[in-house]
Amino acid sequence: MAAIELNGVTKRFEDDDGVFETLQLSSTPSVTAVNDLSFSVAEGEVFGFLGPNGAGKSTTINMLLDFVRPTEGTIRVLGHDAQAESVAVRRRTGVLPEGYDVYDRLTGREHVEFAIQSKEADDDPDELLSRVGLDPEDAGRRAGGYSKGMTQRLALAMALAGSPDLLILDEPSSGLDPAGAREMREIVRAEAERGATVFFSSHVLGQVEAVCDRVGIMRNGELIAEDSIRGLRSRIGTDSVLRLDVDGNADLAAVRNVEGVSSVDADGERLAVSCTDDAKTSVIEAIEASGATVADFETDTASLEDIFIAYTEGGKTTEETEVSA
Amino acid sequence: MTVESVARKDFRDALRSRWLIGLTLFFALLIGGSTALFYGVLLKGAGANSETLFGLTTAPGGLFSFSYAGMLGFVLALIALVTAHGSLIDERESGTIKLLLSLPNSRRDVVFGKLVGRTLVVLVSMLVGFVIAMFAMLFLGGQVMFASYAGQVALSGLLATSFVSIGIWLSATSTSQRQALFGTFGLYFIFAVLWSTVATGVPRVVNWAMDQLGLGTLSMTQVIEMRLFIKYLNPLRAYETLVAELYGPAVAARLFKASLGERLTIKGVFEESLPFYFNGWFILAILLAWIVVPPILGYLSFRKADL
């Protein structure tokens, strides 16, 4: 069974329809935040939900949690309808929402106790708090005085209460320093090892690369790619850029003919060859065979960041990539 | 988890914010203080009982019209609205609602938990005021008529609860704090000030419309009955007349604060047979409806809202 399953989900935000707004004659045009979105996340999977700000990630997550309702389509989470059976979903889900705030007057520990009570769990609040790196002194203080990073740790502790089957984390690393972000990843990994499904969003690739089994990339309310990190890499087609300083005239046509080479750019005696990892040796051999010598070379591995930018900013590779769902 | 856990957290929050303490002090001074002043200074040693003040309808000496229940009703309604109007919208605007709804709480739990929490805050502080007033009377030699006093406390509790309900409704329906605030003051103004204009205006409009349609006009009795009926749809007026019934006959209570003309026309009719919709139980049902209906409407709107 899939932990999360979306089917043709669309969310349009119409203008507000509060009692008072209906009296006003102004109307704002509706905005389509999510458009015909379908994908699923398997049980036990760590799924990274990527995309630039405003791509529809949070709206999607808010629909999983029934904070907002889809205009069209169906959503099932842990086998329950996300709208009709939202409480059942949230009983087994730990959530780190986006755009939340803590109760200023309750202490950190009271927040965690409230989460434990609500989930009818029997965790030790101090254990959860130390797990997310909130020291006991801070845990006893009112959360109103917390920094963004401490608030984020507190919310994560609340999410972990009751050993949920599913963790939904919306931009979990925001507000955390690099060390905090690393601890966050370690917690995600530990939860996945325990058997939990983890669904988390990020606009920072580095957070995702190390922990995700699979990623989905959102742009303008649509899922434009869904694959493993390796799959995404290979789909971009170019794994590495080989930069070479060449003495003499290399036969560029011969280099282009090497299997696995996708492009060759020459700038005087400097060549930049985009190719797969396996093709590197053949490229150097082809250059030397044409009578030139390779004085020096270096390899740039295409980072996930490059892939991400290629997808989300609509480079030529994006146009060629079919969306798989 | 449940209505109860939301209510408990909300109540604790009111404790922390000192709102509960502040309200308690306020009611101690208002109810307890006014009682102490009345029995200790104004009616010192006159052998008064609790009905002398709480059943009071004119100031001692008859200088101006004053009803204790009327005064208390205005204050309770305002306090209840102020206490409740932010309950949901504040959490929505700050984002704490997302934390609350990330946990297994349903939106119903949140609305009704808030209702229970805020109602308790108002009731507890109000009760402290009434208990202090009771001891003040006993201490100052006034006799406490327990039946009517308990009735007064209970009705005051119902009135306060109805305005907490109305506040919850506003809070659940609003999409911004500004809206909830304007709605609160607007509604308070309608109930406290505008209502008599409505009660007088509606029969006139009906009369005019019937005349235009050639259906004849309403009799004087019908006009006054309609006016009184609309008057008692207002929880503040329902409360006032129900309190008056604790201290006197039902007909007099229904004609409480009525004009001389109204009295002359309708008193005889009412004494012969009081229509069921002016019966005390019916008026009480109206007050109870103000407790039950608004939070349900609020929930129905909040249930559909995108947070």
Q: Do B96 and A106 touch (CB under 8 A)?
A: no
The answer on B134 and B85 residing in a single domain is yes
Q: Do B103 and A105 touch (CB under 8 A)?
A: no
- Higher-scoring residue by pLDDT: A317, B274: B274
List, in sequence order, every beta strand (DSSP E) within B165-297: none
Which candidate, A208, A211, A296, places its Cα nearest to that of A246?
A: A296
What pTM was computed for the model? 0.83
Does residue A262 surpass a pLDDT of 80?
Answer: no
- Higher-scoring residue by pLDDT: A228, A81: A81
Which candidate, B184, B187, B194, places its Cα nearest to that of B83?
A: B184
Placement of tokens 């504040």 in the chain: B90
Distance from CA of B97 to the nearest CA of A (A): 7
Q: Which helix (DSSP H) or strand (DSSP E) does residue A253 occupy?
A: helix A252-257
The answer on B227 and B120 residing in a single domain is no
**pLDDT digit string (tens) for A138-177?**
999 999 999 999 999 999 999 999 999 999 999 888 888 8
Which among B1, B12, B98 has the least Cβ separation from residue A97? B98
Q: Do B102 and A117 touch (CB under 8 A)?
A: no
The answer on B269 and B158 residing in a single domain is no
The answer on B8 and B136 residing in a single domain is yes
The answer on B273 and B146 residing in a single domain is no
Q: Do A100 and B102 touch (CB under 8 A)?
A: yes
- Higher-scoring residue by pLDDT: A226, B155: B155
Q: What is the mean pLDDT of residues B34-62?
A: 73
Q: Name every residue in B having a CB less than 8 A away from some CB of A.
A: 1, 5, 9, 12-13, 16-17, 94-96, 98-99, 101-106, 173-176, 179, 182-183, 301, 304, 306-307
The answer on B124 and B267 residing in a single domain is no
Q: Do B103 and A21 touch (CB under 8 A)?
A: no
Q: Name every residue in A having a CB less than 8 A away from some CB of B.
A: 13, 16, 18-21, 62, 65-69, 86-88, 90-91, 95-103, 105-106, 111, 114-115, 117-120, 155, 158-159
User: Residue A236's pLDDT band (boundaries 50, 70, 90)?
Assistant: low
Q: What is the mean pLDDT of residues A90-113?
A: 93
Name the H helices within chain A: 57-64, 86-91, 108-118, 125-131, 136-139, 148-160, 178-194, 205-209, 229-236, 252-257, 280-289, 304-312, 316-320
Domains and CATH numbers, chain A: 2-92+164-233 (3.40.50.300), 239-301 (3.30.70.100)
Which among A21, A102, A155 has the least Cβ separation from residue B175? A21
Q: What is the mean pLDDT of residues A300-321?
A: 56
Distance from CA of B3 to the nearest CA of A (A): 11
Q: Do A19 and B103 touch (CB under 8 A)?
A: no
The confidence score (pLDDT) of residue A51 equals 85
User: Residue B250's pLDDT band (boundaries 50, 70, 90)?
Assistant: confident
User: Residue B45's pLDDT band (boundaries 50, 70, 90)?
Assistant: low
Ranked by mean pLDDT, the top range of A181-185, A192-196, A219-223, A287-291 is A192-196
**pLDDT digit string (tens) for B217-235?**
888 888 889 999 999 999 9
Q: How many CB pairs under 8 A join A and B?
A: 96
Q: Do B105 and A62 touch (CB under 8 A)?
A: no
For chain A, percent of residues with pLDDT exceeding 70: 85
- Higher-scoring residue by pLDDT: B300, A17: B300
Contacts of B106 in chain A (CB under 8 A): 86-87
Placement of tokens 């507190």 in the chain: A154
Backbone angles phi, psi at A299, to 5 degrees: -120, 135
DSSP character at residue B307: -
Does residue A85 surpass a pLDDT of 60?
Answer: yes
Does residue A317 surpass a pLDDT of 60?
Answer: no
Backbone angles phi, psi at B83, to 5 degrees: -65, -35
Q: What is the mean pLDDT of residues B130-154?
A: 89
- Separation of alpha carbons A313 and A315, rounded Å: 6
In A, minimum Cα distance to B305 occurs at A68
Q: What is the ipTM of this complex?
A: 0.81
Placement of tokens 């842990």 in the chain: A78
Distance from CA of B91 to the nearest CA of A (A): 9
Does residue B166 surpass a pLDDT of 90?
Answer: yes
Distances (CA, A) of B217 to B101, B200, B204, B222: 56, 15, 10, 10
Ranked by mean pLDDT, the top range of A165-174, A201-210, B245-254 is A165-174
In B, minimum Cα distance to A160 occurs at B103
The confidence score (pLDDT) of residue A181 equals 87
Burial of B216 (0-12, 13-18, 19+ CB in 10 A): exposed
In A, minimum Cα distance to B17 occurs at A105
For residue B106, the one-letter residue type is S
3-state secondary structure of A72: strand
Contacts of B94 in chain A (CB under 8 A): 101
Contacts of A87 in chain B (CB under 8 A): 104-106
Distance from CA of B2 to the nearest CA of A (A): 8
Testing the interface with B: which of A20, A62, A91 to mutate, by most B Cβ within 10 A?
A20
Which candidate, B158, B171, B176, B67, places its Cα nearest to that of B113?
A: B171
The confidence score (pLDDT) of residue B191 equals 94
Domain around B300: 3-192+294-304
- Please name every residue paired with A247 in a beta bridge, in sequence order, or none if there are none: A293
The answer on B210 and B168 residing in a single domain is no
The answer on B40 and B128 residing in a single domain is yes
Placement of tokens 């690099």 in the chain: A178
The answer on B114 and B26 residing in a single domain is yes
Mean pLDDT over the full length of chain B? 89
- Separation of alpha carbons A255 and A232, rounded Å: 26
Q: Give the pair of three-digit tokens for residue B253.
A: 């209570």
CA A120 to chain centroid, in Å, comes to 30
Q: Do A66 and B304 touch (CB under 8 A)?
A: no
Q: Do B102 and A87 touch (CB under 8 A)?
A: no
Distance from CA of B305 to the nearest CA of A (A): 7
Mean pLDDT over the full length of chain A? 84
Cβ-proximal residues to B137 (8 Å cutoff; 6+ apart), any chain: B35, B39, B50, B143, B144
The confidence score (pLDDT) of residue A321 equals 39
The confidence score (pLDDT) of residue A320 equals 38
For chain A, percent of residues with pLDDT exceeding 90: 47
Contacts of B307 in chain A (CB under 8 A): 62, 67-68
Q: Do A158 and B13 touch (CB under 8 A)?
A: no
Contacts of A62 in chain B (CB under 8 A): 306-307
Which among A21, A87, A117 has the least Cβ separation from residue B106? A87
Contacts of A61 in chain B (CB under 8 A): none
- Separation of alpha carbons B106 and B203, rounded Å: 44
Contacts of A69 in chain B (CB under 8 A): 304, 306
Q: Do A118 and B103 touch (CB under 8 A)?
A: yes
Distance from CA of A322 to the nearest CA of B (A): 33
How many domains is chain B built from?
Answer: 2
Which among A20, A67, A117 has the least Cβ separation from residue B101? A67
Does residue B83 surpass a pLDDT of 90?
Answer: yes
The answer on B207 and B229 residing in a single domain is yes
The answer on B55 and B90 residing in a single domain is yes
The answer on B182 and B214 residing in a single domain is no
